[in-house]
Amino acid sequence: GFGGYMKYAFPADELDPIKCVGNFQMYEVLGNYSLTLIDSLDALAIFGDRLGFENAVKLVIENVSFDQDWTIQVFEVTIRVLGGLLSAHMLATDSKYGFKINWYHNQLLDLATDLGDRLIPTFKTPTGIPYSRVNLKKGVLPTITNETCTAGAGTLVLEFGILSRLTGDPKYEIAARHALEALWERRSKINLVGNNLNVLNGSWQENITGIGAGIDSFFEYMLKAYILFEDSNYLNMFEEAYAGIMKWIKDDTGFYYKNVNMYSGKLAVTWIDSLSAFFPGVQVLSGHLNDAIKHHYLYYTIWRKYGALPERFNMNLRDIDIGVYPLRPELIESTYALYQATKDPFYLHVGETILADLNMTTRTRCGFASLENIQTAELSGRMESFFLSETLKYLYLLFD
């Protein structure tokens, strides 16, 4: 996958694994900054490719600039690009990991700081909740939407917090923390948050809530911010949020987590989405192991039936609603967490099944392709950067 990207696509953001060319289409995660290379930096290190890691760092330093007239998604660029730069910087400067680069002088941190400064204007709203998009050269344009999703605005505190700790400038962490707290302050009386809201007045735009798309990583970052920064305020928020989820969103069987009305807790829709497969991993981290085991088994059952995880599955009809699979990592990440917690070889078999299915259905001559239709095995021309940086990394860690 990485070799195909470097051979056929670099310095483009993505590989088109069907045409074996760089993907220059206008997706909002792309910004002409060699996205796949940056997002893969720490994966190269974890896979033990010391020379590959050093060469990739050099290529980023020599080729990447964020002075681009390109409107991007703040959330995606934060977790993939800012996070990629910061993790690689820490690997390159700390000898205990075995990847310290002697000639390296904080160039990745300089790039990360430049990017952070281009993202920070999005937080200048009456609520402190950031705009979802920004032009890297021109800033927040008048045409940019006032709506954002909860995950998009509330999943920034790890990267922005680390940037503040590394630079000594608290402004990044303060902004991201305030955004997360502002979202949580707008929760309903039963401790549920909505999916989309207006950043100017803080009003919820739809009442449906769950643990999947649009909300998912909001909960993940509460818990991980507590672990990383040892701030009990994050843990208190997470525990309140988790209690609300378990009371109102978890189905009585314990296998299924519903989408409900954020004010009443009543069932809203009967589908679940693939992004919510991250939640068993969060349950492992928070010590709710039995809940994680049951929850994970549902997603693996669906994977085993189709050889991939559909983007949306209707629990009432027991059928696919949206049959796309863009090589997402969430199920694999949860599988890795469960194996680490239990050492049950069942989870190795889960990983083996997933690995075999990926090889059989998504491999192309130059990379791996997203599935446009998991029932017909029709492929689409995208290999998202998270396939290398997350999906394959968690598979590797599962068996390592």
Q: How many CA atoms are closer than 13 Å to the CA of 102, on its beta-carbon side?
A: 1
By the 8 A CB rule, do 8 and 22 touch? yes
- Element (DSSP H or E) covering residue 88: helix 83-93
Per DSSP, which regions of the chain are E strands? 14-16, 21-23, 71-73, 133-135, 147-149, 196-198, 208-209, 259-261, 267-269, 271-273, 312-314, 319-322, 371-373, 378-379
Q: How far is CA 19 from the centre of its chain?
A: 26
Residue 400 is a catalytic residue = no
Let me know the angle formed at the C-alpha of 271 by 265 and 274, rounded to the nearest 5 degrees: 110
> Which member of 330, 333, 384, 390 is catalytic?
330
* Residue 138 CB-density burial (10 A; 0-12 exposed, 13-18 middle, 19+ buried): exposed
Of 201, 61, 46, nearest to 129 by C-alpha is 201
- Element (DSSP H or E) covering residue 153: helix 150-154
Query: What's the one-letter identity of residue 215?
Result: I
- Element (DSSP H or E) covering residue 5: helix 2-8
- In 25-42, which positions are buried (b, 16+ CB within 10 angstroms) versus exposed (e)? eebebbbbbbbbbbbbbb
Residue 216 is a catalytic residue = yes
> Which member of 16, 39, 76, 390 is catalytic?
76
- Whole-number Å distance between alpha carbons of 17 and 2: 11
> Which member of 216, 273, 384, 390 is catalytic?
216
> Which member of 273, 311, 357, 390 is catalytic?
311
- Whole-number Å distance between alpha carbons of 93 and 101: 7
Active site residues: 76, 216, 311, 330
